[in-house]
Amino acid sequence: MRKIGDKRAQQVQSKSGRVSRDKLAQQEMVGFVLIVVVVIIALMVFLVISLRKPVQSVESSELENLLSSVMRYTTDCAINAEPDFDDVGALIKSCYNNRRCANLEIMACESMKDTLDKVLVEIYKSESKYQGYTFNITVVDKDSGEFEPLYGLSEGSCFGSSKTGSNKISIDSQTSIDVLLKLCS
């Protein structure tokens, strides 16, 4: 009988040995899953923090020079008569004053938009390291601080840091036009 009892004891031990191995394997799996969950949560927190970072905008003298060049770009529009073609800066003023291009039989605003669309697309292509741009022309009343958008164009995405350049066009003592170009990386 002892032999039978010993066999049963060995079976119980071996069964209890398997059970403890199974429990150990389950504990290891639970531990692994917990580690994966903690890593995923940490990555999500990092992602949320990085997306909430405010967009850093840096004034760039290089971009201001580029914008000055755009303002001096000669257009196809002659407000008075040919060959006195307006540059973009003068065309913006003419647009604000609702003038017509004498040679093209279109409004100055339409000519301004067509010209800026072409020029900005070329700038964006040549500055290929940037992922997007925003260009805004805004009329500002100096006394009241009110502003009215005159023209705006944007392409691509602006989530990262950016460089800005601005230019002011004075209309009269109370009114100015702000021109802003922002390239986003």
Mean pLDDT on 6-19: 50
- pLDDT confidence of residue 36: 92
pTM, two decimal places? 0.64
State whether residue 173 is helix, strand or coil: coil
Burial label for 72, CB within 10 Å (0-12, 13-18, 19+), is exposed
Which pLDDT tens digit goes with each residue over 58-86? 677 788 888 888 899 988 888 887 788 88
Q: How confident is the model at residue 12 (pLDDT cuts 50, 70, 90)?
A: very low
Per the CB < 8 A criterion, the answer to whether 85 and 74 are in contact is yes
Banded model confidence at residue 18, pLDDT cuts 50, 70, 90? low
Q: Which residue has the higher pLDDT, 15 or 70?
A: 70
pLDDT at 1 over 70: no
CB 34 within 8 A of CB 27: no
Pick the residue with more confidence: 130 or 54? 130
Residue 11's pLDDT is 46
Angle at 30 between CA 24 and CA 34, to 5 degrees: 145
Q: Which of 56-60, 109-113, 131-135, 163-167 has the highest mean pLDDT?
A: 109-113
pLDDT, one tens digit per residue, over 118-162 is 988 887 777 667 778 888 999 998 888 888 988 888 888 777 778
Residues 23-48 pLDDT 10s? 777 888 888 899 999 999 999 988 88
Q: Which residues contact 113 (CB under 8 A, 6 or more apart)?
A: 151
| pLDDT (0 to 100) of residue 63 | 82
